[in-house]
Amino acid sequence: MKRAADAGYERALYTYAMTRKLYSDDEEYFARFTREAVGTIGWLVRMDDVPWVPVVNEEFLTKKFMFMSTDRPLFYNCPCAPTLNVDWDLWHIEFAKTDDMCNRCFWIKEVGLFLRDFSCATTFSPFDSWQ
């Protein structure tokens, strides 16, 4: 039971760290994870069938597009990845190039993968429409 609680806590902390980075540009919580843990937890969070409601959230989408337009070019232009070009997709990078990546590129990749698979639900439809 403790293992399940710890796994739930790690997933919640991972999701919180990603949203803090996205909304506040705060990377404080990233220091609590090792690369191996981030790879495992991130994969579980992205592959888990979580109960996110697919509601369009304009602020989330704005932050997502802003991150992709400002940080993603840094990832592709970094000297740690001389073989990368913009045609590579994140799925291939997730499975092929993680060990020799610099710390900045590693976190840009993780946040990019998180944004690719995450649906934000901060608003819910009125209760009357549930019936």
pLDDT at 19: 78
Integer Cα distance of 53 and 104 in angstroms: 31
Domain range enclosing 38? 2-48+55-122
Report yes or no on 72 lying in a domain. yes
- Own/partner contacts of 29-33, CB < 8 Å, gap of 24 or more, are 30/107
Report yes or no on 108 lying in a domain. yes
Q: Is the pTM of this model over 0.85?
A: no
pLDDT at 3: 56
Mean pLDDT, range 13-33, rounded to an integer: 77
Kindly tell me if the per-residue pLDDT of 37 is higher than 60.
Answer: yes
Integer Cα distance of 88 and 102 in angstroms: 18
Integer Cα distance of 114 and 94 in angstroms: 11
Report yes or no on 117 lying in a domain. yes
Report yes or no on 68 lying in a domain. yes
Residue entry with tokens 């994140």: 90
Number of structural domains (the chain) is: 1
Rounded to the nearest 10 degrees, how much is the dihedral formed by the CA atoms of 105, 10, 43, 92?
0
- 53 pLDDT band (50/70/90 cuts)? very low
Percent of the chain at pLDDT above 90? 0
